[in-house]
Amino acid sequence: MTPGERNLRIVVAARPEGLPRPADFAAEEGPVPQPGDGEVLVRCLWLSVDPYMRGLLDGVYPSIPPPAIGDVMFGGAVGRVVASNHPDLAPGDVAEGYLGWQRFAVAPGSALRRVDPALAPISTALGVLGMPGMTAYFGMTEVGAPSAGETVVVSAAAGAVGSAAGQIARIAGARVIGIAGGKAKARHVVEDLGFAACIDYRAEPDLLAALQRRCPGRIDLYFDNVGGTTWDAVTGWMNTDCRIVLCGQISEYNDRSPSLGPRRLKEFEVRRARQQGFRVLDYRARYPEGIARMAAWVGNGALRYRETVVAGIRRAPEAFIALLQGGNIGKMLVRVDEDEREEGGKR
């Protein structure tokens, strides 16, 4: 920390309606906070922008109150410990936690996770070896539980969660079909990630028909990151004992009133289908196990990841808005410093 250095925070300036606008956020300077008993001061190097943040701003999570107007924006971050009053973390350590969109953050040491920089670039602590990777890992292995030979469909297949979820199913021996928006994403999903196929929904006026062509034996497992009309199409083509892992609904987050769809109740009944809501924070205590598995697959090349990086903390709102519009391949990240080269991510 340079003497005289100040904090920079991105705060919530207004409650977004529909798609957030840059003016819903504001940058604020302030003093660098000081850690109290058991607390740690972290210089954030990478900030996370994630789809769940849109619902968070609307207060949809019973366990996480939305930030108030004027509060720093809630979110995961990874950085270097500057000062520590907690025995598990020392200056120079890399730590990850819900530190918010700010350059300097203070948090209880018990709420932080120490990151091993030898395992992978530290930005992955917000992606494939962090919350999105754990979402994919526990959602797919514990809730979806694909078997060899099953047909698995993953939506938002080029995103941080979908790309990992589909590859985990592929590793389990399933035939994995992605759904993504645009040719570049669809190509990435097949050529780089090894999905059996990927439907570019922008090029398919009838998604159900496209699924029927790609999944002649119907769908055994759907990992849903999208909700809305994509859910409608998939649930029109379920196989017996179909499992649906409800992970996210990015297509619906900016809707000002809930859109309507078919309830599909008879289809669920006659196909003996199961739909299960999934919350990754329920697995926080098991992250070490999940990270070890994912790191091993990344290490041996079985699982690949990509990052889309926006440079400069002031551009975090822009990165978040782009994410909600699908403007990323893989994990969308904000590098706090505009021109930092010290600790980079990787493609």
Q: Toward its own copies, which CB reaches closer, 203 or 281?
A: 281
Residue nearer to its own copies on the CB measure, 60 or 90: 60
Nearer to its own copies, 42 or 273 (CB): 273
Question: 76 by DSSP, 3-state: which?
Answer: coil
* Cα distance between residue 246 and residue 184, in whole Å: 26
Nearer to its own copies, 190 or 234 (CB): 234
Does residue 258 contact residue 237 with C-beta atoms inside 8 Å?
no
Contact (Cβ atoms closer than 8 angstroms) between residue 153 and residue 177: yes
Closer CB to its own copies, 82 or 280, in the complex: 280
Minimum separation from the CB atom of position 160 to its own copies (A): 17
Cα R_g (the chain), whole angstroms: 20
| Nearest-angstrom CA–CA distance, 198 and 184 | 11
CB atoms within 10 A of CB 191: 10
Enumerate binding residues for its own copies (CB under 8 A): 55, 60-62, 224, 227-228, 231-232, 240, 246-249, 252, 258-263, 265-279, 282
Closest contact distance (angstroms) between CB of 259 and its own copies is: 8
**In the bound complex, what is the minimum distance in angstroms from residue 136's beta carbon to its own copies?**
15
Partners of 221 in the β-ladder: 152, 243
**What minimum distance in Å lies between the beta carbon of 153 and its own copies?**
15
Do the beta carbons of residue 316 and residue 159 sit within 8 Å? no
CA distance 195 to 174: 10
CB of 229 to its own copies, least distance (A): 10
